[in-house]
Amino acid sequence: MDAPSPALIPPNVAAWFRSRGWAPHPHQVAMVEAAERGESALLIAPTGGGKTLAGFLPSLIELAERPREGLHTLYISPLKALAVDIQRNLEQPIAEMRLPIRAETRTGDTPEAKRKRQRTHPPHMLMTTPESLALLLSYTDADRLFRNLRCVIIDELHALAGTKRGDLLALGLARLSRLAPAARRVGLSATVAEPERLLAWLSRRGRYDGTPADDVRLVLGRSGAQAEVEILTSQERVPWAGHMAMHAMKEIYERVRRQRTTLLFVNTRAQAELVFQALWRVNDDNLPIALHHGSLAVEQRRKVEGAMARGELRAVVATSSLDLGIDWAAVDLVVQIGAPKGSSRLVQRIGRANHRLDEPSRALLVPANRFEVLECRAALEAVHDHTLDGEAPRPGGLDVLAQHLLGMACAAPFLPDELYEEVVSAAPYAAMTRDEFDDVLDFVATGGYALGAYDRFQRLKLREDGRMAVAGPAVARQYRMNVGTITQEALLRVRLNRGPVLGEVEEYFIQGLTPGDTFLFAGQLLKFLGVREMEAQVAKGGTGDPKVPAYAGGRLPLTTHLAERVRAMLADPRQWDGLPEDVQEWLRLQRYRSVLPNRDGLLVETFPKAGKRFLVAYAFEGRNAHQTLGMLLTRRMERFGLGPLGFVATDYVLAVWSLRSPQDMGTDMDALFDQDMLGDDLEAWMDESSMLRRTFRNVALIAGVIDRRHPGQEKTGRQVTFSSDLIYDVLRKHDPGHVLLRATRADAAGGLTDIRRLSDFLARVRGRITHKDLDRISPLAVPVILEIGRERVEGSATDELLAAAEAELLAEAMPELATPKAASSKRAEPQQGRLIL
Amino acid sequence: MTMTGTMTQTASRAALTLCGADLLADPSGALLWPAESILAVADLHLEKGSAFAARGRMLPPYDTRATLDRLADLIAMARPARVLCLGDSFHDRRAAERMDPADVERLRGLTAAVADWVWISGNHDPEPPQGLGGRVVAELSLGPLTFRHEAQPGAVGELSGHLHPAAAVALAGRRVRERCFAHDGAKLILPAFGSFTGGLNVLDAAFDGLLAPGFEVLMTARGRVYRFPCDRLSPDRAR
């Protein structure tokens, strides 16, 4: 390790490092150096490299040498828990070096009195979240509080940039730079594919076009030893379909037995529950194995984290709830169950194994089905090649900007010209035109409706000096009640027999249960008793097949980068060496019976099965894009007279079944997959789509058109639910160009509909479609066909479901008239976004 | 009064009998009484959007227009001799002042085109605005039936609005919640017709003592009406 420059590291700090038996890392010195010159900096380093200390070190030095009062350093983390953790970790060096520094946290949990005091007598260092920062900036005393700020540290920047929370934070930073022009920005990030994007995000010059930001210094932490990643070669046959890897539980358990501590990552909370159960079934040695996911009660999670930190656990089954932050003692092995879906994610998860940089991290990938074998292999190669997923930056959300503009008006009356300049200095909004800005401002002020009916109800008023000001204190109150961009499904607490709270599940899941139903939660089989006092009451035990919690979200689609690797691997038999024998045989059979999907084009197979015609498209564009493709394709098939009956989408393929096959009707594949499906069909589908409705609800919440539901508010008086769907329907018909709808469509282009990716795909395969008409199912098609009935197609066909229920009742009442039951696997959307009437 | 040809039973409508009167529940949320050529709707809540806007929630200002569009379509199709609006037609006392002039004209045209347009007063509009056509009554009795805004416990042959009934059914682990008509053979509560009117679950305490045990709902969803007995319904929140 280089000897630290004595000029940079003052003696008492150097002495402290020595007392710990450490020497400052070169990247820590580089951060001090950047700070000395007043430069902003981005530090990219793997977890455990003293990254946080590197971020704070310059501030510690500055305050040690020139003690002062007032807020000096602001630390922003995506997680409340992380802010608390960091504050605790800083206490030690501050105490040991006897530095005159007060460090405090401020989150939604901070008591009111302390929050007030923090504004009048701020600590030197404040640890907070993007939402709390937005609130602080909206107070009329924000100027006084932040005027002498010297440094803003943004932790886990990779997890914030490119999200709506990141947009809100970027706008907050733009404001901070105006209040405190001297403040440096410091970003801390895990390894990412394209650091340039994070540099641009941190820059004060608001460019997002890929040109390198010249006002932010890039500091790279020493990367650790090359990770040792292996794919589990099961003695069992690799399953054709499914996501739970139940076949490999015994083998996973054996690995757990051989290590001190193992972290088992899964992709969804439902998977976590099942894997946890399965491991305990084979846990003959009664090893302490715990469960950790975002729905469990906080106390429960803290307990697990504590036990893990003390080294009392042998294994923890976890979801992405453990992806970020909190350090704990050494982990010997990381097991990824199910395919990792992206190489960046895998690298970050592997990084959780072993926080000692000089030893390699060890990881085991457990594919749950045959396609996942290919995907795991692709991910492993990506890790070896150090290639990560890069996602193109998307422009900042208009809904987030609307919220921010209102917050800025709450702080002080503003000149629109000045605020526009400030907003476009935030990277996500760099490309925003003045017209767009004015539209959003108009929305904030009067609703921005074409009808112009609300001029007399404005929330912002134009004063004579040309500044916009909030119309009254009620506006500011409303803003503060609704700040933030995190929108989530309503949650219900799960309570065991009026005893302890086990955690929270989405309300709609509970609403789909009838008393007596069973489900897996918090690692046990529970019987649903009913909802009382806004809580789901459950008892242990029960019989029958559990309904596993079908939690919303949590399932990330396969990244473009991994998809490309999987396609390349499939197309090239030379790359099959080392795949399990049954997988190789599967691919050889596919080549013999049909053809292999090629690298750049699209293979479409058609075949008859059980009286229906199947069409399987090997698109490899991820579940969300396939879902959208399925909706659009079935619409078109309907028009072509093919009689589509249903479809199922996986991360790899789309299968559609219909009464007639395309060739029966003289339809060729080029026409079926023509890009113009993204025109009218898309419009028509999007208008009805439940995904768009959900997206709209979130946009309306963030933009402040509907209020958030706060706990305890729901039961006040007679309550009538007022669904954001009603607003959506009316707006779409009468004001289709409204800024809220524009924001909704922009969100939908990524996210759940992944239209952007689908559009790239259709362009890529144009004129390159290989159609194989087969007389029976091909080997490669088997997994997706097995998924039918297992997967639910999200759709809007509630009517079928209702008709089925009604028919069932009729049959019960009048068996002689019974009609065959309409099968349906369609799912109804829960109503969200309530207002008190 | 003569029966109008377009007030007939169709696949999408549901028939029910209340105190001997044959009625049709339309999927739009309107109730038809063919024998009297009556079209009844409840809780239009015109100008609810602007009422929210006045309090800082900038809901789209098009709810009045959207509600009138749907009402106009219904009238054109059913050609009723009498239209009954069962109260809370206007969201508040000043709703008419806030209404867009084009919407005012539209509403005047509608009331003028129907032989008898009746505004029954409600708690939101105890004195429905003047100058829009139609007559105002507190309630209206015709044959065996009485139309009023708020249901009264024990009343027989009564049709009302006010409560915005909605019903939810759990189906195969999922849940559907929609507006509905609720009736027990003696009284019927209409769903709210307004574009921005939400629904209150019929299992909510607000309905206690109004409908006899074993009542039935007619749920309106996607252009159809579905019948469910009350024991098949699921509450929004347990009580």
pLDDT digits (tens, 9 = 90+) for B24-53: 999 999 999 999 999 999 999 999 999 988
> Does residue A290 carry a pLDDT above 60?
yes
> Does residue A825 carry a pLDDT above 60?
no
Which pLDDT band holds residue A403 (cuts at 50, 70, 90)?
Answer: very high
> Does residue A796 carry a pLDDT above 60?
no
- How far B36 CA lies from chain A's nearest CA (Å)? 30
Question: Residue A597 and residue A772: Cα distance in Å, rounded?
Answer: 11
pLDDT of amino acid B3: 43
Q: Is A569 helix (H, G, I), strand (E, B) or coil?
A: helix
Question: B79 touching A, CB under 8 A?
Answer: no
> Does residue A457 carry a pLDDT above 90?
no
pLDDT of amino acid A5: 54
pLDDT of amino acid A324: 57
pLDDT of amino acid A620: 92
Give every strand in the sheet of A769-773, ordered side by side.
Answer: A644-649, A654-658, A612-618, A602-609, A769-773
- How far B142 CA lies from chain A's nearest CA (Å)? 31
Closest by Cβ to A531, choosing from B198, B219, B238: B238
Mean of pLDDT values over A325-339: 76
Q: What is the pLDDT of residues A557-567, one digit of tens each?
A: 788 888 889 99
Q: Is A416 helix (H, G, I), strand (E, B) or coil?
A: helix
> Does residue B108 carry a pLDDT above 50?
yes
Residue A744 tokens, joined: 């909704």
> Does residue A511 carry a pLDDT above 70?
no
Please provide the average confidence, as pLDDT, over all residues in chain A: 82
Q: Do A457 and B234 touch (CB under 8 A)?
A: no
- Per the model's pLDDT, the better-predicted residue between A346 and A186 turns out to be A186
Q: At what angle do helices A739-749 and A398-411 cross, to 10 degrees?
A: 130
- Per the model's pLDDT, the better-predicted residue between A750 and A65 turns out to be A65
Q: What is the pLDDT of residues B110-145, one digit of tens each?
A: 999 999 999 999 999 998 888 999 999 999 999 999
Lowest-pLDDT range of A39-48, A65-74, B116-125, B126-135: A39-48
Q: Do A718 and B66 touch (CB under 8 A)?
A: no
Which pLDDT band holds residue B234 (cuts at 50, 70, 90)?
Answer: confident
Torsion of CA A9, A14, A16, A18, to 10 degrees: 150
pLDDT of amino acid A836: 25
- Per the model's pLDDT, the better-predicted residue between A755 and A487 turns out to be A755
Lowest-pLDDT range of A669-673, B103-107, B153-157: A669-673
Q: What is the pLDDT of residues B174-207, one digit of tens each?
A: 577 889 999 999 999 999 999 998 889 999 889 9
Q: What is the pLDDT of residues A201-253, one digit of tens each?
A: 999 887 655 566 778 999 988 766 677 889 988 888 888 777 778 888 999 99
DSSP letters spanning A166-190: HHHHHHHHHHHHHH-TT-EEEEEE-
Domains and CATH numbers, chain B: 14-232 (3.60.21)
Mean of pLDDT values over B62-75: 95
Instruction: List the single residue in A with minimal CA-CA distance to B219.
Output: A802
DSSP alpha helix (H) spans, A512-580: 560-571
Q: Do A805 and B177 touch (CB under 8 A)?
A: no
- Per the model's pLDDT, the better-predicted residue between A372 and A499 turns out to be A372
Q: Do B53 and A706 touch (CB under 8 A)?
A: no
Which pLDDT band holds residue A835 (cuts at 50, 70, 90)?
Answer: very low
- Show which of residues 184-223 on chain B sit within 8 Å of chain A, judged by CB atoms: 195-200, 204, 206, 219, 221-223
Beta bridge partners of B160: B189
| Contact in structure between A345 and A211 (CB atoms under 8 Å) | no
CA geometry: angle A405, A710, A501, nearest 5 deg: 140
Mean of pLDDT values over A623-652: 85
For A610, residues 6+ apart whose C-beta sits below 8 A from its C-beta are none
* Helices and strands: H and E segment counts in chain A: 31, 25
pLDDT of amino acid A770: 93
Strands (E), A60-195: 73-76, 103-106, 125-128, 151-154, 184-189
Residue B71 tokens, joined: 């009402």
Q: Do B56 and A457 touch (CB under 8 A)?
A: yes
Name the percent of chain A lying above pLDDT 90: 36
DSSP letters spanning B121-178: --SS-SSPPSSSSSEEES-EEETTEEE-SS--TT-SSEEE-SS-EEEEEEETTEEEEE
Q: What is the pLDDT of residues A746-788, one digit of tens each?
A: 888 877 678 888 888 999 999 999 999 999 899 999 888 877 6
Mean of pLDDT values over A785-803: 52
Which pLDDT band holds residue A353 (cuts at 50, 70, 90)?
Answer: low
Q: Do B195 and A729 touch (CB under 8 A)?
A: yes
Question: Residue A371 and residue A376: Cα distance in Å, rounded?
Answer: 9
The H-or-E segment that residue A525 falls in is strand A524-532
Closest by Cβ to B53, choosing from A454, A547, A721: A454
Residue A143 tokens, joined: 């100027």
Beta bridge partners of B25: B14, B31
Instruction: List the single residue in A with minimal CA-CA distance to B194.
Output: A726
pLDDT of amino acid A101: 94
pLDDT of amino acid A816: 41
Which pLDDT band holds residue A668 (cuts at 50, 70, 90)?
Answer: confident
Say if residue B123 is exposed, middle or buried (CB neighbours under 10 Å; 0-12, 13-18, 19+).
exposed
Question: Residue A625 and residue A558: Cα distance in Å, rounded?
Answer: 10
Domains and CATH numbers, chain A: 11-220 (3.40.50.300), 228-385 (3.40.50.300), 491-540 (no CATH), 594-688+753-787 (no CATH)
Q: What is the ipTM of this complex?
A: 0.86
pLDDT of amino acid A806: 64
> Does residue A805 carry a pLDDT above 80?
no
- Cβ-Cβ contacts under 8 Å, A507 against chain B: none
Torsion of CA A512, A514, A520, A523, to 10 degrees: 110
Choose the most confident range, by mean pLDDT, from A275-279, A452-456, A548-552.
A275-279
- Show which of residues 84-103 on chain B sit within 8 Å of chain A, judged by CB atoms: 98, 100
Which pLDDT band holds residue A829 (cuts at 50, 70, 90)?
Answer: very low
Name the percent of chain A lying above pLDDT 70: 84
CA dihedral sign, ordered A401, A406, A412, A413: positive
> Does residue A644 carry a pLDDT above 60?
yes
- Cβ-Cβ contacts under 8 Å, A513 against chain B: 170, 173
> Does residue A812 carry a pLDDT above 60?
no
pLDDT of amino acid A819: 35
Q: Which residue has the tokens 């009316």?
A: A730
Query: A103-112: long-range contacts at Cβ-Cβ below 8 A with a sequence spacing of 24 or more?
Result: A103/A127, A106/A132, A106/A136, A107/A80, A107/A83, A107/A132, A108/A80, A108/A132, A109/A80
Residue A137 — φ and ψ, nearest 5°?
-70, -20
Lowest-pLDDT range of A229-233, A498-502, B104-108: A498-502
Closest by Cβ to A806, choosing from B60, B166, B226: B226
pLDDT of amino acid A824: 31
Length of chain A: 837
For A284, residues 6+ apart whose C-beta sits below 8 A from its C-beta are none
- Per the model's pLDDT, the better-predicted residue between A288 and A359 turns out to be A288
> Does residue B78 carry a pLDDT above 90?
yes
Question: Residue A527 and residue A509: Cα distance in Å, rounded?
Answer: 14
pLDDT of amino acid A797: 40
Which pLDDT band holds residue A823 (cuts at 50, 70, 90)?
Answer: very low
Mean of pLDDT values over A83-109: 88
Rounded to an integer, what is the distance from CA B164 to the centroid of its chain?
Answer: 8
Mean of pLDDT values over A731-759: 86
- Cβ-Cβ contacts under 8 Å, B150 against chain A: none
pTM of the model: 0.81
Question: Residue A571 and residue A200: Cα distance in Å, rounded?
Answer: 37
Start-to-end Cα distance in chain B: 46
- Cβ-Cβ contacts under 8 Å, B56 against chain A: 457, 459, 471, 474-475, 478
In terms of Cα–Cα distance, which of A299, A301, A291 is closest to A271? A291
Q: What is the pLDDT of residues B215-232, one digit of tens each?
A: 999 999 878 899 999 988
